[in-house]
Amino acid sequence: MKLDLLIEIGMEELPSSYIKPAAAEFSKKLTSTFNERSILFEKSVVFFTPRRITVLFRKMEDYEKRMPKRIYGPPADTAFDNNGKPTTAAIGFAKSYNKVPSDLKIAIKKDKKVCYLEIKEKPKQTKKIIKEILPAIIANLTFPKKMRWEESGLEFARPIRWIVLLFGKNVIRFNIAGVTSSNSSFGPRFKGSKKIVLSDASSYERIMEKNYVISSFEKRKKMIKSGISKLLKSSKTVIEDTRLFDEVANLVEYPTVFKGEFDKAFLSLPQDVLITAMREHQRYFAVLGKGKRIEPIYIGVSNSLDDNLKEITKNHNKVLHARLNDAKFYWLEDLKKPPGERIEELNGVEWHRGLGTVFDKTMRLVELSLYLVKLLNRGEKDTIKRGALLSKTDLVTNMIKDGKEFTTLEGIIGREYALKSHEKKEVAAVISEHYLPRFPQDALPSRIESAIVGVSDRIDTLVGNFLLGEIPTGSIDPFGLRRCANGLIRIIDEFKIRFEFKEMVNKNISLYTSQEDISIKVNNEETVNRLKEFLSNRLSTYLTSLGIRYDITDAVFFVYFNDIYEAIARIKALNEEKDSKDFERLVIGQRRVANILRGVKISHKEVNEAFFDCREEKILWKKYDEINGKFSESMEYNKYKKAIKSLLSFRPHIDNFFDNCLVMTEDVKIKNNRISMLLEIKKLFDSFADFSLIVLEGEGREEGKR
């Protein structure tokens, strides 16, 4: 018989970010257990609100499906004698399962014939299995934080207060954390959490909705969306914020959308402050009007019906008014002291244990940025210097320091304060943009000045942590160094920022060691090497995300790393040529060269043209001279595609050489001369990438080759 199975865990309000993942995990674990136990069902549907996580399995079999179980016994040659008659071993085996020797069957197991019996077991009732498995599945659901609340000591995100467990029309009873399952659910709090008796599993969604619980997340979101479009004129939109949207939909069981307003006077606060004040604490959507300018209205979502919406809105307005008042208080207090006067104060803020204060970091940042400006000869020096100097000053403003809802404005509020104290707008941009990108899809800085300070900041963070040996391993990366490195790589790539990696790190280390309150043991070479390894892994990941194969990446890293931008540029150029017709032959040719050279031990000698005696080797050597010249010129001007093109033009000459001239000839002089020539050619190729590491079409890439 097929029945619908309904499981609802009723709780006190779960944190909104916990709900969706927990529901998904619950459904996944149940499904996989049912699959393991061969309990068939048609499909499963997941529902959740702050107070319930529900899974409904449609048309589930009331018995598990059991395949006959095989029980293996003695090997066939022990079980039967030469005449095919069962031995005592066979009789004994059969008897122990209430069978006779004629029931024995033979299977091949590990190349041997073995006897087995098929035992049919009575299938278990689905309801019994559910009772068995459910407590452990519930108890083992994962949450970011768990709590205890009653005697059994069960840990869950918030207290479990009821469980509905219905199979068809019948209740399956079990106990967990002082709760016994039943057919009673409860309604929303604004309706007094009234008891809702569910007579059967299948009508769950409908009955709950009738009792003002919208159990479907998607439906709640739809209601909110249509509510918003009803309230706003077409010239106005709520700010786009999917995270907030999901959060709000998971803060209510029955969403009712309302439009609130605030005093126009607050529009004098920076737009980002207004948006943050609405979003971070009150979970309101800011509304943008013409020209993306913020309007003195907002959209909220109430966990109630719309009976008393006017009063509810009025009350919400009052709360926002107080919040904005608070923001204004911070803003006005902070304006009393311009960023330029806050630099000393950074001495009181520890940046990182063992690595001094934010003041120390700022000083290094200024030096590193200036070093880069000089090197690159790009960007406006004074802007960079001032920007770096002020970049962290917002950490000691009230807006950020208090650690409340405005901390997400780090950098942004620094920009606003800088503008208010008449810093140049380019300097202000550096303050907010040097943090960009904060995450993979985030925007990049808009100008080179910000990029330079951003690169310096990230290098300084990486170098400092590596000096302390705080290197990310596996999933452990408490200081977000991977994210830091990813940002660094993106900026370097997009802004074409070139520097000698080793020298930059050494410069940074010397800045650390010259600071009085920092005493760390330093091993420059080790730090450089470990950072190189770490960054080349990050680079590989970055390039893979751009669709570049790791063998191409590796071919370049193997011979070259020192200027990260150049490494990326070489890899990109190589990648573009990988499908050209000469490429494959060239790689094969380079492998031949590498193979021949692997066996030989001769000291390097000048190539002597007098020893040439094969036409193709003369041509090859002539071409080498030409190509070498072109290649070096291209490299000097950073024209990597052109450089590869010249290497590719080697292809026919190398092929001809191998086809017509024998390297391992008997005449030692001629042989050694040819080897010297090949060494020169390999050196030329290796100065770009190790082509022999590239995997060709159809060769398959071995995992773990790296």
Partner 1 sequence: MILRLEKFWADYGCIIMQPYNSEVGAGTFNPATFIKVIEDKPYKTAYLEISKRPKDGRYAENPIRFQQFYQFQVVLQPSPSSVIDIFLKSLKFLGIKLKNHDLRFVEDDWESPTLGAWGLGWEVWIDGLEITQFTYFQQVGSFNLKQIPAEITYGLDRIAMFIQKTDSVFELEWAPGILWKDVYKESEYEFCKYNFEEANIDMYQEIFEQYKKEAERLLEKALIYPAYNYVIKCSHIFNLLDARGSISVMERKEYIAKVRRLSKRVAEKKREKTKGE
Selection from 347, 396, 343, 344 nearest residue 517 by Cα:
347
Candidate segments 325-333, 465-473, 583-591, 626-634, binder of partner 1 by CB under 8 A: 325-333
**What pairing do the DSSP bridges indicate for beta strands 170-171 and 175-176?**
unpaired
**Residues 519 to 578 in contact with partner 1, rule: CB under 8 A:** none
Least distance to partner 1 from the beta carbon of 350, Å?
A: 5
Among 350, 442, 576, 633, indicate the residue that binds partner 1 (CB under 8 A).
350
Q: Which stretch binds partner 1 (CB under 8 A): 78-86, 142-150, 263-271, 453-461?
A: 142-150
Does the protein bind partner 1 through residue 453 (CB under 8 A)? no
Confirm or reject binding of residue 369 to partner 1 (CB under 8 A). no
User: Binder to partner 1 among 180, 206, 265, 329 (CB under 8 A)?
Assistant: 329
Distance of CA 305 to the CA centre of its chain: 39
Judged by CB under 8 A, the residue of 101, 187, 300, 464 near partner 1 is 300
Binding string, 420-449, against partner 1, x = CB under 8 A? ------------------------------
Residue 159: asked if its preceding bond is cis (omega within 30°), the reply is no
HSE value, Cβ hemisphere, 13 Å, CA-based, for 644: 22
Cβ distance to partner 1 smaller for residue 50 or 487: 50
Shorter beta-carbon distance to partner 1: residue 344 or 576: 344
The answer to whether 190 contacts partner 1 (rule: CB under 8 A) is yes
149 binds partner 1 (CB under 8 A): yes
Q: Long-range contacts: 611-618, Cβ < 8 Å, 24+?
A: 611/669, 611/670, 611/673, 612/673, 613/670, 614/657, 614/660, 614/661, 615/660, 616/653, 616/656, 616/657, 616/659, 616/660, 616/661, 617/657, 617/661, 617/674, 617/677
Report in angstroms how near the CB of residue 192 gets to partner 1 at its nearest: 7
Amino acid at 294: I
CB of 404 to partner 1, least distance (A): 11
- Residue window 304-323: x/- pattern of binding to partner 1, with contact defined by CB under 8 A: x--xx--xx--xx-xxxxx-
The count of residues in the chain is: 706
Give the whole-angstrom CA distance, residue 696 versus residue 701.
Answer: 9
Query: Considering the rule CB under 8 A, would residue 16 count as an interface residue with partner 1?
Result: yes
Site membership for partner 1, residue 178 (CB under 8 A): yes
- The answer to whether residues 303 and 255 touch, using CB atoms and an 8 Å cutoff, is yes
| 444 DSSP assignment | P
> Nearest CA to 390 among 367, 426, 414?
414
Cβ neighbours, 10 Å, residue 528: 20
**β-sheet bridge partners, residue 58:** 43
Tell which residue, 561, 568, 571, 532, has the closest CA to residue 691: 571
What tokens does 240 get?
A: 């786009």
User: Residue 304 or residue 456: which is nearer to partner 1 going by CB?
Assistant: 304
Residue from 10, 50, 227, 379 that binds partner 1 (CB under 8 A)? 50
Shortest reach from residue 369's CB to partner 1, in Å: 24
The answer to whether 399 and 422 have CB atoms below 8 angstroms apart is no
**Residues with Cβ within 8 Å of residue 47, at least 6 apart in sequence:** 23, 53, 54, 55, 56, 204, 205, 208, 215, 216, 217
Q: Is residue 361 within the footprint of partner 1 (CB under 8 A)?
A: no
Closest distance of CB 315 from partner 1, Å: 3
Of 185, 202, 276, 302, the residue at the interface with partner 1 (CB under 8 A) is 302
| One of 150, 503, 525, 609 touching partner 1 (CB under 8 A) | 150
Q: Specify whether the CB–CB gap between 323 and 332 falls below 8 A.
A: no
With respect to partner 1, which residue has the nearer C-beta, 1 or 322? Answer: 322
Torsion from C-alpha of 152, 157, 158, 164, nearest 10 degrees:
-80
Q: Is 147 in the site for partner 1 (CB under 8 A)?
A: yes
* Residues 256-285, mask of contacts with partner 1 (x by CB under 8 A): --------------------------x---
State in angstroms the smallest separation of the CB of 396 from partner 1: 8
**Residues forming the site for partner 1 (CB under 8 A):** 12-16, 50, 145, 147-151, 153, 157-159, 161, 178, 189-193, 251-252, 282, 300, 302-304, 307-308, 311-312, 315-316, 318-322, 325-326, 329, 347-350, 357, 396, 401-402
